[in-house]
Copies of this chain bind each other. A is one copy, B any other.
Amino acid sequence: MDSSQFRDAAKGAVDEIANYYDTLEERPVLPSVAPGYLRPLLPDSTPEEGESWDKIQADIDRVIMPGLTHWQSPKFMAFFPCNSSFPAMLGDMYSGAFNAAAFNWICSPAVTELETVMMDWVAKLIALPKEFLSDGEGGGIIQGTASEVVVTAVVAARERLVRRKLADMPESEERMDKAADIRGRLVALGSEQAHSSTQKAAMIAGTRYRSVPAPKETNFSVTAAALRKTIEECREKGLEPYYFTITIGSTGTCAIDDLQGIAALAKEYPDLWIHVDAAYAGSALVCPEYQHLCPPIAAFDSFNFNLHKWLLVNFDCSAFFIKRRKDLMDTYSITPSYLRNPHSDQGMVTDYRDWQIPLGRRFRSLKVWFVLRSYGVNGLRALIRKHIDLGEYMHDLLKSRPDIFTVVTEPAFGLVTFQINPSPPSSAPTTTEDEAHPRHEACLNGLTSSDTQKANQTTKQVYEKMNAKGEFFLTSTVAGGRYVIRVVSATLLSEEKYINGVFDALVRVATREGEDEEEKEERGDSSTR
């Protein structure tokens, strides 16, 4: 393909992509393919001779489109959103064109320098304390995902503690033995509501993991008292807590841990690396009405949120801010110490490879730049406020039918969780499906009363039926022993009419209005979804 063919092909692709966005709301958000659908549609191996673009492009509709889950659809209300936007796509087009494995400054100075400036823009946009700006000892870096960031922070925390404890020992086998002994006693902490990535990161770092209680009584948040208790319990067993994930907007219910209380506690545990996971909710900090959450963050070591979730920058783009970049570089730089110099340490030349696990890096700051400029501060605030209003609106609808719905957690950052009230005994759903899913039984039986069990079963059945229909995509979680449906409507195309749509669908399914044989069959299919 030469550049002239590329002009034609790429302009055709632009039209296809624009058409896709123009028709998003007409598409069922979930695909109806069965596992293994794709392989029979393709040959077994690479063709011997090259094929024309026309033939390749036609296969997008034939092979790919039927197997897509449409995350940009306004009917996508599952997980957290993963928003794209047209300016971000333009940024990625240029990034692909300027293709480079930009692992250090000279590999492409613009890649490094735009990233530093953009991370400063983002830090100011969300009112992060000045400690996280690049003109002091801190700064920001774009990594792939919040889970990659957590591993980066956990390993850096582990090694920081080892360095501090062995500061006086020169490199030697004996020092390595001591370091291994220290690592063997370390324990990483996270809320029992924290994303599972902290537990996975602790495993990758080869250390223990303990969860800190975050019960319904504290609105699923970790309090300073609970954290202190867990730390002290670990110490009594001879274990050393070295890392804690504090959460702004937990995955299950968008809970916020006690930022102020834990910031005060942090002074007592200076060797505990506290990392703020605000993967989704961090974007709300663009709005002044949420920025009261920011000052305590100065007491913590690192902060992360995903611009690819709620701030319109295509996946992947996770902003990781560090208070002392030296804490990363001392772990991840494999440049020998005699090459370290004041220019590098002061940020004259930043080699971001020394702030991360992988070596190479893409030019991701371009799409950040394009999005921030296209929307401006006010455009981004308007977007966040619209979604938060949609959460309130959903909440109001649910409260209007207390016969059907019980709200479990109030709307937070656009997310509301609720249960379906069980039907009267005569029409109660059978437990057949649940018996086939012992996980939920095992998980819930010990925790809940008989009434709650019934509500859990009913909620689960409605949830599975909703997704089996494929019109809206929702997710569920378990919060305080209750099986709940989560609804979060925060895509670029989200509107009140889709909230009305999902609410009406929930009412219909919960009350079994219009249920016919076809729909019963659909429900039977849900296990393949």
Identify the A interface with B (CB < 8 A): 1-7, 9-11, 13-15, 17-18, 20-22, 30-31, 33, 35-39, 42, 44-51, 53, 55-56, 60, 63-69, 71-72, 79, 82-90, 92-94, 96-102, 105-110, 113-114, 116-117, 120-121, 124-125, 144-148, 151, 155, 158-159, 173, 176-177, 180-181, 183-185, 196-197, 199-200, 203-208, 237, 308-309, 314-316, 331-332, 334, 336, 338-339, 343, 348-349, 357-360, 362, 366, 369-370, 372-380, 438-439, 442, 529
Contact = CB atoms under 8 A, between A and B. Distances in A.
Given A114-B38, A204-B357, A357-B151, A94 B50 contact: no
B38 A109 contact: yes
B117 A38 contact: yes
Contacts of A316: 101, 360, 362
A148 B100 contact: no
A304 to B, nearest CB: 13
A21 B379 CA distance: 34
27 contacts: A1-B374, A3-B22, A4-B18, A6-B14, A6-B86, A10-B18, A13-B93, A31-B109, A37-B113, A38-B117, A39-B116, A44-B124, A46-B124, A47-B373, A48-B377, A50-B375, A55-B373, A67-B110, A68-B110, A69-B107, A69-B108, A71-B98, A82-B101, A147-B357, A158-B206, A180-B184, A357-B357
Contact of A21 (B3, B9, B158): B3
A86 B125 contact: no
A87 B44 CA distance: 20
B3 A349 contact: no
A80 to B, nearest CB: 8
A48 B158 contact: no
Contacts of A6: 14, 17-18, 21, 86, 89-90
A417 B263 CA distance: 55
Given A10-B86, A46-B372, A183-B206, 8 more contacts: A36-B113, A37-B113, A50-B373, A56-B373, A89-B93, A92-B93, A101-B145, A197-B359
**Is chain A's interface secondary structure helix, strand, loop, or mixed overall?**
helix
Given A1-B85, A47-B376, A20 B97 contact: yes
A14 B82 CA distance: 25
Contacts of A51: 373-374, 376
Contacts of A36: 113, 348
A87 B85 CA distance: 22
B125 A45 contact: yes
B358 A113 contact: no
Contact of A89 (B10, B45, B438): B10
A74 to B, nearest CB: 14
A372 B237 CA distance: 56
A250 to B, nearest CB: 15
Contact of A357 (B148, B314, B332): B148
Contact of A200 (B93, B148, B332, B336): B332
B11 A14 contact: yes
B99 A314 contact: yes
A480 to B, nearest CB: 19
B96 A314 contact: yes
Contacts of A343: 35
Contacts of A110: 31, 38, 63-68
A7 B13 contact: no
Nearest to A106: B529
Contacts of A439: 336, 338-339
A217 to B, nearest CB: 26
Contacts of A176: 208
A493 B87 CA distance: 30
A390 B120 CA distance: 44
Contacts of A66: 110
Contacts of A45: 120-121, 124-125
